[in-house]
Amino acid sequence: MRRALFVFLVSFTVVLAGTSPAQAHQPVQLTAANPTPDRGPLLVDGTVSFAVYAKVQGKDTRGFRFGLRDGQRRDVQLLIADKSPGNALAATALPEVIITDPRGTRTILKPVERSPFLEPYSGTKYLYLARLSGAGVGGTYQVLIRSRSAQPVEAVVAVGYREVSGRVVP
């Protein structure tokens, strides 16, 4: 009986370990109700992987915020879906991202690359346009995604690097 219980517990543990859900960037969808960072969601821990989606065109803007503590790694990437019309636009017509750190310093992510990326969980193809990495300052960052084209573009801003569950405050 003891041996059977032991075998069951070991088997159960192995099964649980092998079936843990694979984590990907947690999706966050921005809409017209989120035109500025103050009206967008707060990603409480900016080291957690989030994928912030925003379809923009014309003069559209979308915003959100994320928090970091002093010295934590700040990772932000701008991507677009690798499909028409976005992938055919000139770099000057693709969305840009304006990041304002807690001290008020602005960094603008403009398209400087078109590196392909296949998201393994959904099979969706993206293009990396810009990446920013470095030590962060403590506080809340404000992020604004700004359209620069009359054509609709599906932009994604990836924040963070840790594949764990994170909290989003609407």
Largest separation between any pair of C-alpha atoms in the chain? 71
Closest residue by Cα to residue 64 from 47, 43, 80, 46 = 43
Question: How many alpha carbons lie under 13 Å from residue 38 in its C-beta half-sphere?
Answer: 0
Q: What is the distance between the alpha carbons of residues 132 and 39, in angstroms, rounded to a whole number?
A: 24
Q: What share of the chain is helix, strand, coil (3-state, %, to 5)?
A: 15, 45, 40
Q: Mind listing the domains of the chain with CATH numbers?
A: 23-169 (2.60.120.380)
Each residue's pLDDT tens digit, 28-47: 999 999 999 999 999 999 99
Each residue's pLDDT tens digit, 130-139: 999 999 999 9
